[in-house]
Amino acid sequence: MLEGFFEPKEKFKEDTKGQGGWPRAEIWNYFQNMRLKTGHYRAKCYYCYKDWAKREPVKLEMHLGFECLKCLEDIREFWVSKVIENRIIINEHQKPKKERRI
């Protein structure tokens, strides 16, 4: 049933645009994947082989940066900095909450 399930990593380094027109997230170069009928992707980590039925790129970034114990240190450091950088950008764009008066 799952024969040919995962594509080689090298294929996706060249394919930078997804079928929907969005640029392919760099994180997918570190995961084997298969497109599901729902339009999402099934993912499997190249390093620890953890498998997800449906995953978002942000959660895959978190996995490589903070959870995967088998990925290379420079890759872990890269994704830790990427996650932190993205969190800072999100925080800068959020509206400040109004203070409640008592």
**Dist CA 63 CA 100 (whole Å):** 37
* pLDDT value, residue 97: 65
* pLDDT value, residue 36: 85
Q: Which residue has the tokens 């997230």?
A: 25
DSSP code string of 26-94: GGGGGEEEEE-TTS-EEEEETTT--EESS--HHHHHHIIIII-SSS-HHHHHHHHHHHHHHHHHHHHHS
Run means of pLDDT, 10 residues per run, the chain, 102 residues? 43 47 84 86 92 85 95 95 87 68 66
Calculate the alpha carbon distances from 36 to 5, 39, 52, 68, 79 in Å. 11, 5, 12, 24, 25
* pLDDT value, residue 76: 96
